[in-house]
Structure 1
Amino acid sequence: MGQVFTDEHLRCLIERALAQNPDLVAATYRIEQARARAMSARADWFPQLGGSGGAAANYGSENAGQVAPGGDRSSESYDLTALLSWEIDLWGGIRRSNEAARSRLLEAGYQRDAVQTSLIAAVASAYIELKNLDERLAISQRTVESRQSSLDLVASRRDGGVSSDLEVGQAEALLGQARTAIPITEQAIAAKENEIRFLLGEYPAGVARGGSLDGLDRSLQIKGGLSSTLLERRPDVAAASQAYQAAVAEIGVAEALRLPSLSLTGSGGVISGAFDNLLDSSSTAYSVGPRLAGPIFDAGRNKARVDAARALAGEAQAAHQRAAQLAFREAADSINAHLKTGEIITEQSRLVEANRKVARVANERFTGGESSYLEVLDAERSLFFSELELADARRDRLLAVVQAYRALGGGWK
C-alpha cells in the first residue's frame, strides 16, 4: 500500500477501513473457522481416548429367573472404564482429509487478502471520486460567478438600450445551468462521503481530504516495469488454486469411504459389585483387538460421493482457470486505461485552453458591440463542459492506477 498510496488523507482512511470494516473482520473469522477445522482433521491421526464410570442399584425378579427363589434380590454394580480407539489410515483417507483442510485454511487466508485488496481499492476509488466531485463543484462555482458578471453586464447594456431582452434571457439561462449543477454536485458529494464512511465501518459524516486531483495525480502513479508474473500474487487466483487442491484431496477422502476401515480398539478398567473393593486388582477387566468394518451394500451411495467429489474438483479447476484469465484481462485493461487517459488529459487540456480563448474573445466582441450574445452563450457552454470533462479525465487516470493496484494483487515492485 505504501508504494502506491502516498496521500496522507487517503492513507488515514485506508488504515481506518482495515481496522474497522465488517467484511474484513468477517473474513478474519473465516480463517479462524478454517484453522479450527484443520486442527480437527489433524486429530484423526492420533488415538482417541475416552472414559466412563457408573454406579447402579439393581433389584431382580424371581419370576423372570433373574435371581434364585428366596435369594437376595438386591445388588449393586460399580465400574470405571477407559476406552481407546485408533483408526489406521490404510487407504490415505485421513491424509487426504488433512490435505483438504490445510488447503481450505490457505484458501481462507488468501480470501481475506483478496477482501483487503478490494477494500483498499474501494476506499481509494471512492476518495478519488470524491475529489473529482470537489473539483466539479469548484468549476461550477467559478462558472456561476463568471456568468453572474456576464448577466449583470448584459442587463446593464439592455438598460442602456444596447442589448435586448432576449440576450438577458439567454444570460439568465446560462447562469441557471451552472447554478443547477451546484446542488446536484453537493448531493453527490454527501452520498460519496457516506459511501466512504460505510467502507470504514462508520456512520454517515463528512470526510477530510487534501488538495486537488493534480496533487493526488503526482502521488499516485504506476511505477516500474509491469510483468505478468506479478499476477501470481493475486490473492483471488491463489485462493482459487487452493480451492482446487482441496477439492482434489476430497476425492481421496470419498474414495477411502468405499473401502474397509481398520481400527484398534480397547477398553479397560475396574468393575465390582461393591464400592469398597472397586479398586482391587481382582476388579480389573479389559479387552483389546482390531476391528475391521466396511460397506457391503449401500445402493451406490459411496460411489455417488466419489462422483460428486470429482465434479466439484472439475468445477474448482474451471473456477481457477477463469480467475487467472480475469486477472490477466483486468491487469491489461487497467494499464491500457492509465496510458490512454494520460493521452486524453493532454488533448482535453488543449481543448480547455482553446475554449478559454474563444470565450474571452467572444466576450470582448460582445462588449465591443461586434457580435450578439449568442457567441458568448456557445463559448461559455463549451468551456464549462470541457472543464468538467478534463476533471473527469484526471479522475479516470487515477482510477486506472487503483484498478491496476487491485488487478496486480496489491501493488507492484
Structure 2
Amino acid sequence: MKKQIILYTVCLAAMMSSCHIYKSYDRPEVDTQGLYRDPVSDNDTLASDTTNMGNLPWEQVFTDPQLQALIRLGLEQNTDLQSAIQNVKAAEAGLMSARLAYAPSLAIAPQGGVSHLEGSKRSWTYTLPISASWEVDLFGKLLNSKRGAKVALLQSKAYKQAVQTQVIATIANCYYTLLMLDKQLAITEETSIIWDKSIETMRSMKEAGMVNEAAIVQSEANSYMIKASIPDLKQQIRETENSLSLVLKEAPQKIKRGTLEEQKLPEVLNSGVPIQLLANRPDVKAAEMSLAGAYYSTNQARSAFYPQISITGTLGWTNSVTGMPIFDVPKMIMSALGTLTQPLFYRGANLAKLKTAKAQQEIAALNFQQSILNAGSEVSNALYQYQAANEKTIQREKQINSLEKSVEYTQQLLTLGTSTYLEVLTAQQSLLSAQLSGISDEFQRIQAVVNLYHALGGGRTE
C-alpha cells in the first residue's frame, strides 16, 4: 500500500511538472536586429548607439522654463494620467488580495437562544465558535493568481508611464506649435505693413506716370489676401491654446510662452540599441506584462482540472450539547475537516476555459511582437523626419536669401521703370511663402526631436 502511495505521488508530480503549472513566465525570443532604418541609406540599418536619448530626464531635453512649468502642471493635473495612477492603486489592492488568499480565513459566528417549557424555568444556550478555512495550494491555483496580480500591477505601472510620456510629448508639441504660429503671425502682419507701404509708393509712382491703376488694384488685392490670412492664424493659435489647456485640465486660457528663436534642443540624437526598447518603451513593457498575465491565466485554467483541497476547523465554547442545556459551565468544542473536491461534470466547461485562455495568450503574444515593431517604426520615422527637416532648413535659408534679394532688386528696377509691378508682386508673394515654409521646417525639426524622445520612452520617470 505504501509503495502504491509513493508511485501515485511520483506520477502526480510528473503530471504537474509536464503541465508547467508552477513554471514562471519567460520572455519569448524577439529579434530586434535591424529594428531601426538608417535615415540616409534605404538598405542599411541604423548602427547601434551606446547611449539612448530616451534615458535623459525631460528637463534636460526641454529647457524652456515656461514649457517646463506647463509640463509639471500637466503631470500634476492631467485627467488621463490621474486615472492611470488610480489604476495602479487598484492593481496594488488586487495584489494584496491575491497574497492574502494564502492565509486562512477566520470567522466568528456567536449564537444564542432561549427555550421555555411549561412549568419549567427558561434555559439559555449559547455557542461561541471561531472557524478557520484554509485552501491548500498544491496545484498552483493561488500561486498563478498571485503572479497574475503581480504582472497586472506591473502592467498598470507601465501604462501609467506610457500615459506620462504621451502627456509630456503632447504638451511639448502644442507649445512648439504655438511658437510656430506666433512667428508666422508676426511675419504675416509685418508683410502686411510692408505691402501697405508698397501700395502708397505705387500711388505716388502713378501720379508720376510710372505705373497704372491696374498695378495698384492688383497690389491692393494681394494686400487683402494677406490680411485675410491673419484671422486664420489667430484662430489656430486660440484653438491650440484651448487644446493645451484641456491637456493641463485647465479652463481655456492664454498660454504664457517664449519664442521659437529661444528654443535649444539636443543636436545629437542617440537612439540606443534596439533591445533597449524592451526596457524603455512603457507601451512595449505593458504589452509584455499583458502577455505574462495571459500566461498565468492559462495556468489557472489548467489548475481547474485538478482537485481542490481545503481544511476547515472550529474552536469555541458552548453550554449546550445537542441543542439542550446540561451545564451552566461552558465547554470547549473543537472540530476539524479536510475536503478534496475533484471536478467531474465540469470538465467540458474547464476545457472551454482553457482553450479560451490559450487563445488570449496567443493574441497577447502577437500584440507584444507588434508593439516592438511599432516602436521601431516610430523611432525610424522620427529619425528620418529630423534628417529631412535639417536638409530642408539648409535649402530654405538659401531660398529666402535669394528671394529677399529678388524683392529688393525688382523694387529698385520698378522705381527705375525697367521692371513691372507683376514681377514685384511675384517676388513678394514668393518671399512670404518661403518665410512661412521656413518656420514650418524649423517646427518640423523640433517636432522630430519631441517625437524621437517620446518614441524612445523619454519622460517615463518622475
Length-normalised TM-score, structure 2: 0.82
For the 8 Å contact 1:265–1:288, the answer to whether it is kept is: yes
Specify the SS of the correspondent of 2:134: strand
Give the whole-Å Cα distance in 1 for the aligned partners of 2:243 and 2:210. Answer: 51
Partner amino acid, structure 1, of 2:201: L
Q: Are 1:361 and 2:401 matched, yes or no?
A: no
Which residue is 1:280 aligned to?
A: 329
The one of 331, 342, 346 equivalent to 2:379 is 331
In the alignment, does 2:320 pair up with 1:263?
Answer: no
| Alignment-derived partner of residue 431 in structure 2 | 383
* 1:250 equivalent in structure 2: 297
Give the length in aligned residue pairs.
400
Q: Note closer, same or farther for the CA distance 1:5–1:277 as it changes in structure 2 (3 Å cut).
A: farther
State yes or no: 1:123 paired with 2:167.
Answer: no
Aligned to 1:168: 216
Change (3 A) 1:324 1:279: farther
Matches within 5 A, 1:13-162: 13-58=70-115, 76-162=124-210
Whether the 8 Å CA contact 1:6–1:220 is kept in 2: the answer is no
Q: Distance in 1 between matches of 2:271 and 2:86?
A: 36
* Bigger Cα displacement from structure 2, 133-142 vs 221-230: 221-230
Counterparts of 2:282 and 2:324, CA distance in 1: 63
Aligned match of 1:67:
none
Specify every segment of 5 or more residues in structure 1 that has no aligned partner in the other structure, as ranges: 61-69
**Correspondence 1:231 to 2:277:** yes
Deviation, 1:16, is: 0.7
Q: How does 1:394-409 map to 2 (within 5 A)?
A: 394-409=442-457
Q: Which amino acid aligns with 1:390?
A: G
CA-CA distance at 1:220 after TM superposition? 4.5
Aligned partners of 2:270, 2:147: CA distance in 1, in Å?
38
Residue 310 of structure 2 contacts residue 338 of structure 2 at CA under 8 Å; is this kept in 1? yes
Amino acid at match of 1:230: Q
CA contact (8 A) 2:389 2:444 kept: yes
Contact 1:7 1:219 in 2 (8 A): no
Structure 2 distance, partners of 1:336, 1:83, is: 68
Please identify, of 254-263 and 324-333, the stretch whose mean Cα deviation from structure 2 is larger.
254-263
Q: Cα offset for 1:162?
A: 2.7
1:160 is displaced (CA, Å) by 3.3
- Quote the residue 2:392 is aligned against: 344
Q: Deviations over 1:347-381 (max 9, x none)?
A: 11111111111111111111211122110111111
| 1:308 positional shift | 1.1
1:300 aligns with 2:357: no
Q: 1:12 aligns with which of 28, 45, 69?
A: 69
State the partner residue of 2:27.
none
Corresponding letter in the other structure for 1:266: G
Q: Is the 8 A contact 2:124 2:325 kept in 1?
A: no
Moved more, 291-300 or 81-90: 291-300
Structure 1 residues 82 and 278: CA distance shift in structure 2, 3 A:
farther
Q: Is the 8 A contact 2:271 2:456 kept in 1?
A: no
The structural deviation recorded for 1:342 is: 0.4
Q: 1:208 to 1:129 in 2, by over 3 A?
A: same
Structure 1 residues 152 and 277: alpha-carbon distance in aligned structure 2, compared to 1, 3 A threshold: farther
Whole-Å Cα distance in 2 between the matches of residues 8 and 279 of structure 1? 81
Moved more, 25-34 or 297-306: 297-306
Cα offset, 1:314, TM superposition: 0.9
- The 1-side partners of 2:176 and 2:268 are apart by 16
Scaled by the length of structure 1, the TM-score of the pair is 0.92
Question: RMSD across aligned C-alpha pairs, in angstroms?
Answer: 2.2
Instruction: Tell me the percent identity.
Output: 30
Q: Confirm or deny: 8 A CA contact 2:265 2:449 kept in the other structure.
A: no
Deviation at 1:264, TM superposition (A): 1.0
